Amino acid sequence: MTVSTSQQHPNDQSRHEDVVYRNAKREAWVITGMFTVCLVYTCTYCYLFGYTSHEGLPGSTGQAIGEMVGPLEQFNRDPKTLTTPFGLGIPDWILYGIVIPWLACIAASFWFCIFYFAEDDLGSDDTSTDNANS
């Protein structure tokens, strides 16, 4: 049985993605990855090095984090033990857990926009000539 060249397999079209779609999908994955890494780092760092104790409260219903992952006494902080690096007046865990990652995200976003982001040709805009004639 021979198949004519004019007939295409239904999946042939899905195998050839549009360049704009492929670039947008790739860029979305990079942005999602950057967001996930920063979110995990910031939440983990601020949880471990913040003010509070990691032991369960008297009325809590769930396990304390110390029971799930092991002893965390070295991470228990008292506000008196906090340092203010560089004389900025903010606690060290805020500087290293929020400010520095924020600045790193700004730098990564700048790099992404300048060097990685692909500007694709979307074709001609036919609606602009229709509006001009109306």
**Tens digits of residue pLDDT in 33-70:** 999 999 999 998 888 887 665 666 677 666 666 666 66
Q: What pLDDT does residue 119 have?
A: 75
The pTM is what?
0.60
Three-state secondary structure readout of the chain: CCCCCCCCCCCHHHHCCCHHHHHHHHHHHHHHHHHHHHHHHHHHHHHHHCCCCCCCCCCCCCCCHHHHHCCCHHHCCCHHHCCCHHHCCCCHHHHHHHHHHHHHHHHHHHHHHHHHCCCCCCCCCCHHHHHHHC
57, 49, 111: which is closest to 77 by C-alpha? 49
Q: What angle do CA 108, 109, 113 make, to 5 degrees?
A: 120
Give per-residue pLDDT as tens, 66-86: 666 666 666 666 666 667 777
What per-residue confidence (pLDDT) applies to 117?
Answer: 79
Higher pLDDT, 131 or 18: 18
Q: In whole numbers, what is the pLDDT of the chain averaged over residues?
A: 75
Give the confidence band of 10 by pLDDT, cuts at 50, 70, 90.
Answer: low
Contact 48, 72 (CB under 8 A): yes
Asked if pLDDT for residue 128 goes beyond 80, the answer is no
Residue 74 has a pLDDT of 65
Q: What is the pLDDT of residue 47?
A: 83
Which whole-number Å values give the CA distances from 113 to 37, 51, 106, in the listed order? 18, 37, 11
**Does pLDDT of 107 surpass 90?**
yes
